[in-house]
Amino acid sequence: MNSKNLLTALAASSFLLMSSPTFSQETREFSVSTVLSDAFPWGQAAVKWAELVEERSEGRMKLTIYPNAQLVSGDQTREFSAMRSGIIDMAVASTINWSPQVPELNLFSLPFLMPDAAAIDAITQGEAGQAIFEAIEKRGVIPLAWGENGFRELSNSRGPISQPDDLKGLKVRVVGSPLFLDTFNTLGANPTQMSWADAQPALTTGAVDGQENPLSVFDVARIDQVGQKHLTLWRYMADPLVFGVNQRVWNSLSTEDQTLLKEAAIEAGAWEIAKSRAELVETLERIKERGVEVSELTPEQHSAFVEATQSVYEKWVPRIGEDLFTKAKAAVDAR
């Protein structure tokens, strides 16, 4: 081949390499774990994140969502460990589910610490929130943004609840956190830890009397159909969500893609929080229309529950961290 033909061949090869999508753009796919599907705000947060990332990366990054804790065989409390080890790339996760590995996250489960949405924001968007993100990162997961699963309200089949004594002997299904057991035991209830798959038949048969979950879960999961005809709005704890990434995955990304991923997470989280809060009134109306008796604690009744659960603080604040708790409490008081 003469030099002229060689140059022509090289030029043609270069054109093919530049124009072929196979060579010009390689798509990286990442797994994203969630506990709830996109029928719930939690799952919708993950979908929004995935959409923003795919759009802004022009298809270079694809987030594939695995709801119902599929990647850990339904055991949601194993999610953080699976992320840290690289089994899961990313997650939109509950602070409750990560708290066994990150004790600081138990802050949000302290009973009656956050009386309203402004209190949640005061913690997550302030010094306490930053300290919690640092604690998560130290354990091998990069936190990017906050979302929200909402305040967990109490339902039961026995009757209205307006004072601590109303919980005495009440068999309540709770999530797999020792702090939840301590809170309900302190109030005289009989808490039982079980998965949601086990909880629904247990509620149906009366093996347990009640459960606690955000209003969105009560509504979409139709908890009223398993004997839960009494719902108490007591806002005893809130469950922020965390958008997180495995540390090795994060380090493998360019600075540009790290920024893209984080900004998309912040935007998706803010969108989901606003959407969730805006829908609460309508959600509550749907629940009432199904014949559920809804009651809300008065300030005096709320104070009685706060006083009744002080021993939980004495046990758990040292585990969470005195300094972190002080920052959080100051933020709530100053909101």
Q: Please state the domain extents for the chain.
A: 27-333
Residue with tokens 């559920």: 292
Give the number of other Cβ atoms within 10 Å of residue 282's Cβ. Answer: 10
For the chain, give the mean pLDDT: 93
In this prediction, residue 75 carries a pLDDT of: 87
Q: How confident is the model at residue 89 (pLDDT cuts 50, 70, 90)?
A: very high
Q: How far apart are CA 125 and CA 127, in angstroms?
A: 7
Strand partners for 233: 296
Residue 334 predicted with pLDDT over 90: yes
Residue 21 predicted with pLDDT over 50: no
The string of pLDDT tens digits covering residues 237-276 is 999 999 999 999 999 999 999 999 999 999 999 999 999 9
The string of pLDDT tens digits covering residues 209-234 is 999 999 999 999 999 999 999 999 99
**Structure tokens of 109?**
């489960």
Measured at the CA of 291, the angle between CA 288 and CA 292, to 5 degrees, comes to 65
Q: How far apart are CA 132 and CA 150, in angstroms?
A: 18
Residue 62 predicted with pLDDT over 80: yes
Beta strands in the chain (DSSP E): 28-33, 61-66, 90-94, 141-151, 153-156, 171-174, 190-193, 210-213, 230-233, 238-246, 293-296
What's the number of CA atoms in the CB half-sphere (13 Å) around residue 126?
Answer: 19
**Structure tokens of 35?**
């506990």
Give the number of other Cβ atoms within 10 Å of residue 289's Cβ. Answer: 9
Measured at the CA of 107, the angle between CA 328 and CA 237, to 5 degrees, comes to 100
Closest CA relative to residue 109, chosen from 182, 18, 204: 182
Q: What percent of the chain has pLDDT over 70?
A: 93
Q: How far apart are CA 186 and CA 110, in angstroms?
A: 13
Q: What kind of fold does domain 27-333 have according to CATH?
A: D-Maltodextrin-Binding Protein; domain 2 (3.40.190)
Q: How far apart are CA 53 and CA 27, in angstroms?
A: 12
Q: Among positive and negative, which fits the CA dihedral 195, 200, 201, 204? A: positive
Q: How far apart are CA 59 and CA 34, in angstroms?
A: 22
Q: How confident is the model at residue 74 (pLDDT cuts 50, 70, 90)?
A: confident
The string of pLDDT tens digits covering residues 90-100 is 999 999 999 99
Q: How confident is the model at residue 335 (pLDDT cuts 50, 70, 90)?
A: very high
The string of pLDDT tens digits covering residues 297-333 is 999 999 999 999 999 999 999 999 999 999 999 999 9
Strand pairing category for 153-156 and 210-213:
antiparallel
Q: Are 139 and 132 in contact (CB under 8 A)?
A: no
Give the largest CA-CA distance in the chain: 96
In this prediction, residue 1 carries a pLDDT of: 53
Residue 25 predicted with pLDDT over 90: no
In one letter, which amino acid is 14? S
Closest CA relative to residue 191, chosen from 168, 162, 221: 168
pTM value is 0.90
The burial of 169, by beta-carbon neighbours within 10 Å (0-12 exposed, 13-18 middle, 19 or more buried), is given as exposed
**CA–CA distances in Å: residue 235 to residues 46, 108, 322:** 25, 12, 23
Phi–psi pair at 32, nearest 5 degrees:
-125, 120
